[in-house]
Every structure is written in structure tokens, then in C-alpha cells.
Amino acid sequence: MKSILFKSLAVCCLAVSLWSCKKDETQTVSNVSPAGTLTASATSLSLVQANGTKPALTLTFPAPTVTGYTVPVTSTIQFDIKGKNFASPKEYVISTTSYSPTVNDFNTMLLALGATIGTPAQVEVRLKSGAAANAITYSNVITLSATPYLASAWIYVPGNYQGWNPSTADSLVSLTSNGVYTGIIKFDGSPFKITPEKKWDVAYGDAGGGTISTSGGDISSVSAEFKLLTVDLNKKTYTITKADYWSVIGNAIPGSNWAVDTDLKFINDGKGTWQAKIALTAGAFKFRLNHDWTTSIGNNGADIMVTDAGTYTLTLTVNADGKTGSYTMVKN
């Protein structure tokens, strides 16, 4: 009987103790202010490449306030083309209360969003603020107007195919100067390296697993053919794959007689042009894709006629579909 009594008293004391603890517990919560008003130093921006390192504009907003339990608050500036409702915005996390992208950075962002070079564009910007995914707030939206420019940058590909000479090596182009460079080069199956300038001061080689480093060895071009080479200097990676290519064939080309192709050289300028300087005789020729008659370009479908023999610079500009285009032939 005593044992039962003691057990009952122990259970009651434990219950009272737990109730007292729960009663005395103090709940601490965080109160985070919503995103404040976003302001812009300008809404009509003049993007000029010569001013590339200068601020394009300055965006400012008040610092978020937190009361109660302190939690970190993330402030993010979002940009998107007007009318897309920030479906796939470019985002920049800001640790201060202002953001001043350079002209080059703003131009690169516009092009990455899909704006067209030389065409006026409108982009919307807003502030995203919050401490957790389920507690995000947004500021007012500001519309900015700007016209992006062509901001090309190049790197170079010296290799055995051209005598390991950086000053005359083929180039890769980045149309937006975003650190990702592409180009088509006719390799001979032998190795190459990557140089940021037309000299050997800095050279990237194969570091294994599709990566490059300044201490890497020669990069293999795998086989003798036209290759699409892509180099990402941000991630220090590269890819190399087989590429389509264009040539000329016809009886106006000595030694061809509609049986032997003369390959054109791809000009890595972002315009999709192929070029060659060739001695032509009186006769006819056409451009064709991958040494095959499935896709060819002529004079409105007909052969291109040469009436005056001489050395010509042939330039083929291929359209985005990769199958049609236009040409010029200039006598040197």
C-alpha cells in the first residue's frame, strides 16, 4: 500500500514539474520587416563600351530590421525582361543597401536575359527580401530602359595545326565577354593550348576530366577535322566536339572539277561567316555543307559563275538555320 502511495505521489510531482516548466517557458520569435522601397539613380541608361568599368546606375533600398530572435536576412536584386513577370530572373545577392553594376556587367546581364544587341530593351528590377523561403517579400518594381552593345572578347588557340604560334593562332569569341568562349577550328589531330593573349605569358592546358589549368599539359584535338571548341574560363573547363563545316567545289576551282572540295575557314566573330582566298578560273562553283550535296548554296540555287579569272576572297554568311545564307566574292 505504501509502495502504491509513493508511486502515485511521484507521478503527481513529475506532472506538476512538467506543467510548471511549460508554464514558465518564454516563446521568442523573429519579426522581420518587409522589403523596403527600391530606388534607382536613373531609369534610362546609356550603355557605351568605352564606359564599361563605370557604374551603369545605383540601386538603393533601406536595410531590413529584425526584432526578437535575430536571424539573417537575405537581400537579392532581381532583373528580368519587362513582361516576363520575373519568371527566370537574373539574381544578385547584396550584403549592403546599394548595388551599382558596371556598364559591362549590366550589358552582359541584358544579353543573358535575351535582349538583342543594338535594339532598345526594357528590363524590370525589384528587391527580394526575407529570412526563409516561406517569408519572402518583394519591393516595388522599377522599369529600366537600355540598348545593349556588342561586347566581344577573344582568347587564342595555338597548336601544332598552325605551328604553335600564339600571334597567328585561331581565336575563340565571347560575344558578351562573360568568360565563355566558342569557335570552330580545323585541327589536324594534334594537340593545342589556350592563351588569353597572343603570347605565351599565360597558357592553359589539359588538367584532366575536361578541366584546364596553367600547369596542365597539351590538350588533344582527338582527330583531324573541324571541331567546335568551347572554353569556360570561369569554371576552367572545355569541351570539344565535331562541327559542321562549309567548302567550295566546282570547275572554277583548279584541281576540283566538281570532285574535290576546298574547305573554308570559320571566322570566329559571332557572325557565322566562312571565308577563303582562292585563285579561280572561268567556270562555276557552289558552297556545300560537310562535303555533301544535301545542303548547298549557290546563286539563287544555280551555280555561281566566274567570268573573270583571278584571286578572290569568298565569304559565306550562314543564317541561324545552318543551311541557308548569302555570299560575296571580292577580286583581290
**Quick check: is 135 in a domain?**
yes
Average pLDDT across the chain, whole number: 88
- Comparing 7-11, 70-74, 201-205, 210-214, which segment has the lowest mean pLDDT? 7-11
**Quick check: is 27 in a domain?**
no
Which structural domain range is residue 226 located in? 153-242
Provide CB contacts within 8 A for 293, sequence distance 6+: none
pLDDT at 134: 64
**Quick check: is 22 in a domain?**
no
Per DSSP, 153 falls in state: E
The CATH number assigned to the domain holding 76 equals: 2.60.40.10
Q: C-alpha grid cell for residue 141?
A: 518594381
The CATH number assigned to the domain holding 323 equals: 2.60.40.3620
**Helices (DSSP H) in the chain: which residue ranges?**
2-24, 103-113
Query: Of 121, 146, 171, at which residue does a domain stop?
Result: 146
| pLDDT, mean of residues 153-170 | 96
Total domains in the chain come to 3
Residue indicated by cell numbers 575563340: 172
pLDDT beyond 70 at 71:
no
Query: Of 242, 259, 287, at which residue does a domain stop?
Result: 242
Per DSSP, 217 falls in state: B
**Quick check: is 28 in a domain?**
no
> Are 195 and 115 members of one domain?
no
Q: Is 177 left (phi over 0), alpha (psi -120 to 50) or beta?
A: left
Q: What one-letter code names the amino acid at 132?
A: A
> Are 131 and 157 members of one domain?
no
The percentage of residues in the chain with a pLDDT greater than 90, rounded to a whole number, is 70
pLDDT beyond 50 at 269:
yes
Provide CB contacts within 8 A for 235, sequence distance 6+: none
Strand 74-81 versus strand 121-130 pairing type: antiparallel
Residue indicated by cell numbers 545593349: 148
pLDDT beyond 80 at 250:
yes
Q: C-alpha grid cell for residue 273?
A: 561567316
> Are 84 and 119 members of one domain?
yes
> Are 42 and 135 members of one domain?
yes
H or E stretch at 123: strand 121-130
User: pLDDT-based confidence at 201, cuts 50/70/90?
Assistant: very high
**Quick check: is 18 in a domain?**
no
Q: What one-letter code names the amino acid at 273?
A: T
> Are 222 and 253 members of one domain?
no
Longest dimension (CA), the chain: 126
pLDDT beyond 50 at 17:
no
Nearest to 57 by CA among 82, 38, 32, 81: 38
Provide CB contacts within 8 A for 304, sequence distance 6+: 250, 252, 284, 285, 286, 298, 327, 329
- Sheet containing 98-99: which strands, arranged edge to edge? 39-40, 59-60, 98-99
**Quick check: is 8 in a domain?**
no
Per DSSP, 117 falls in state: T
